[in-house]
Chain A
Amino acid sequence: MNIKKLLIKTFTFIGGLYFFLEFVMPESVFDFDKYHESISNAFITMSCMAVGLGIINLMVLHLDRIVYKKKDYFFSLTLLLSLFITLVILSLDWYQNEKIVSKANKFLTLSKFSEVILDDEKAKNSKVLAVNIRNQKLISELEKDINLIDKNSININEAKERELKEVLERVEKSKDNIKKDYHSTKYNLNLSKRLRNLSIVYREYLQYKNKDSLIKKLYLICFDGFFNPLVMSMFSLLGFYVATAAFKAFKIKSFESFLMMLSALIVILGQVPFGVKIWNGFPSLRLWLLSVPSTGAFRAITLGAFIAGLVMALRMWFSLEGHEKGGKN
C-alpha cells in the first residue's frame, strides 16, 4: 500500500481511537478527564484553522471575474469590497473593545495583586517583598490608573456614569484606609472586591461612551442596517414559500397526500381562533396528533438515522470507503 495512503488511514484511525477509548474505558483504568478538554480544544483549533479556505475560494472565484471582466463582475466587486470593508470594521471594533477591556482589566490586576499580598502575608511567604513596600506599590499604581479616568467628563445625570462615580468613591475610601497603615493587610480584601467591581463598572462605562464612536456607528450600519435585516428578510421569505409549498403539497393526488393534508389542516385549525369556533376539540386533537403519532414516527425516523449514522461512523473511522472520498493519491 502507498505509504501516504497508509499514513492518512493511520491518522484517521488515531483521531477516532482517542474519542472511542475516552468513552469506553472506565475511569479506574485511565482517567481521560484531566486531558479531555485540552485534546478537544486541540481538535477544534485544527478545524478552526480551515476558516481561510472559504475566503480564498471567494477571492479566487470573484477576482477571476473582476480581472477578466466576466459577466456580473460588478457584483463580484461588491462582494469583495463588502468582505474587506466588513473585515476592517469588525477588526477595528474588536481592537477597540480589547482596548476597553485592557483599560478596565488594570483594576482587575490590581484587585488580584491586593489578594496576593494578603495571601502571601498569611502564608508568611519570605520570597517576596515586605508587605508595606508591596502595598505602597499597589496604591501608587492604583492612583496612577485612577488619574487616567477623566472624572470631569463623568455626567452624574446618566445612570452608568453615576454608578462609576460611586464605585470610584468607594475604592478611594479603601485606598485611603490602606494608606493609613501600609504594614497592615486588614483592608486588602475589601479593596480587592471594590477594585473588581470597579473593573466591571468601568468597562461598561467605557463601552457606553464608545457607542457614539465612528467605528461603532459603522459596525451598527453593517449589522443593524444590512446584516440583521437581510437575515430576517430571508427568514420571512419562508412565510411566502410555505404558502406556495402548501398549495402544491395539498393537491390530493393520493391517499398519502390526503393524510398529510388532513393532519396539517387539523394542526392549523387547532392553532387559530377560527378553528376553535368551528369545533372546540381541534386544539386537543392537534396536541394529541403532535404528541402521540407524530412523536412515534419522529422517533422511528431519528432512531433509524442514528443507527445508520453509527454504521457510517464506523466506516469513517476504519477508512472503509465505497466511493472516492479522498483516498486515491
Chain B
Amino acid sequence: MSVGPLQLCLLFSSALFCVGLIGALSRSNTILVLLGIELMLNAANLNFIAFWRFGPNPAAATGVIFVLFSIAVAAAEAAVGLALVIAIYRHQKNVRLQEASQLKG
C-alpha cells in the first residue's frame, strides 16, 4: 500500500494527538495537563493545514483561516487555564490535580 503525503501528515497529527492525550491523562501536574491539551489542539490544526494543502479545493482558504481562529482561541484558553492554575496554587499551595477536590474552602 502506498502512503501519500496527505496520509503521512494525518499519521503525524495522530501521533501528536496521542502523545498529548497520554500526557493529559497520566500526569498529575495541572500545568502539564494543560500543555497536553494544547498539544491536542495543535494536532487538530495540523489536520486543517494538511487538508488545505492536499485537499481537492486548495483555492478556498478555509483551512488556513480556521487555523488562525483556532490559534487565537487556544491562546485565550491557555491564558485562562494558567490563571486558574495560579488561583488554585494560591489556595492550596500546590498544583496537584488529586488535591484540587474543593471549589471553595
* A and B interact physically: no
